[in-house]
Amino acid sequence: MTDNTLNLDGTLRLSLMGGQARAFLTQSTRMVQDARSIHRLSRVATAALGRLLTGASMMGCMLKDERDSLTAMIKGGGPLGTLMAVARADGTVKGYVDNPDVELPLRADGKLDVGGAVGRDGQLTVIKDLGLREPYVGRVNLRSGEIGEDLAMYFTASEQTPSLVSLGVLVGESVVAAGGLIIQVMPDCSEAALKSIELSAPMFMNISKTFSEYGLNGALEQLLGHLEPEILSTARPAYHCDCCRDRFERGLIALGREELTKLIDEDHGAEVNCHFCNRTYRFSEQQLRDLLRRAQT
Ligand SMILES: [Zn+2]
């Protein structure tokens, strides 16, 4: 295998042990590196947002309809502030963190202190827009702020689906490897199958290292080879922002006449920044006057 295929991002949707469990295995190295470049993330912010984006991407792949979307938001009270990830059914994601340049000392075991940076005093909220009148909202208290454990808690408490979640980002000068695994037990899972999964859990602890050494297909063999994996479908995780000028125009119109007039008279224009991709949209005085006219009709 060449280095090239080792580094290729991908998601595998799997059936385990003849359908007694299902799994999502994703390599997201490039996706997390893109997030790091766009937001100029510190190492610990890369690990934290990278884990959330990777988890959200896999959860996006669980959505039924390509128009559906999923938002995962963590407010943990730590120095990073709020972390946000939005995923779509094709595995693409976008996200941001309030304070991207926070850096903390390494933990005693030499690992990045993601839990300390995220904080443990707060909640994980998952919002699913399934095209219905009301979105589905699930919320759980954070367990560790390490994100994998918190998502597992969400699946168990909010969706009544016992799940094992492992997320990892290995950061050096750039992102060396990133990836994740979610295993969900089906209601008819036997005791023996459950035991096999539980016994395997320690192997999933250092998932980013597994990806850095073996790539996606090698990781499949290493991590799940003994659980009779069967690939049901594949997806390509990627960082993608779907913002457009039109959306920001509508946002400005929604500010109302008074605010728009103020922007015209006092600032003689406006600059709006997309939180997800850092693109800046500029509006001249004349363009704002056009929007003001539209706001009045
Ligand atoms: Zn954008």
Question: So what CATH class is 245-296?
Answer: alpha beta
Q: Whole-angstrom Cα distance, residue 208 to residue 213? A: 9
Kindly give the confidence (pLDDT) of every residue in the chain, 297 residues in length, as a single tens digit, with 9 standing for 90 and above.
445 556 689 999 999 999 999 999 999 999 999 999 999 999 999 999 999 999 999 999 999 999 999 999 999 999 999 999 999 999 999 999 999 999 999 999 989 999 999 999 999 999 999 988 899 999 999 999 999 999 999 999 999 999 999 999 999 989 999 999 999 999 999 999 999 999 999 999 999 999 999 999 999 999 999 999 999 999 999 999 999 999 999 999 999 999 999 999 999 999 999 999 999 999 999 999 999 998 887
- Residue 197: count other Cβ atoms within 10 Å of its Cβ: 22
Distance CA 84, CA 103 (A): 18
| C-alpha 244 – ligand 1 centre gap (Å) | 7
- The fold adopted by the segment(s) 3-239 is Hsp33 domain (3.55.30)
Tell how far the Cα of 21 is from the centroid of ligand 1, in angstroms.
36
How far, in Å, from the CA of 284 to the mean position of ligand 1? Answer: 20
Q: Do domains 3-239 and 245-296 have the same CATH topology?
A: no
Q: In angstroms, what is the span from residue 280 Cα to ligand 1's centroid?
A: 9
Cα(135) to centroid of ligand 1, in Å?
Answer: 22
What angle in degrees, to the nearest 10, is found between the helix axes of 29-39 and 43-60? 130
Report CA(288)–ligand 1 centroid distance (Å).
Answer: 20
Q: How far is the CA of 215 from the centre of ligand 1 (A)?
A: 30
Take residue 52 and report the two structure tokens written for it.
Answer: 């959330």
245 CA to middle of ligand 1, Å? Answer: 9
Query: What's the Cα-to-Cα distance from 214 to each of 12, 13, 198, rounded to whole Å?
Result: 15, 18, 23
Question: For residue 147, how far is its CA from the centre of ligand 1 (angstroms)?
Answer: 24
What are the boundaries of each domain within the chain?
3-239, 245-296
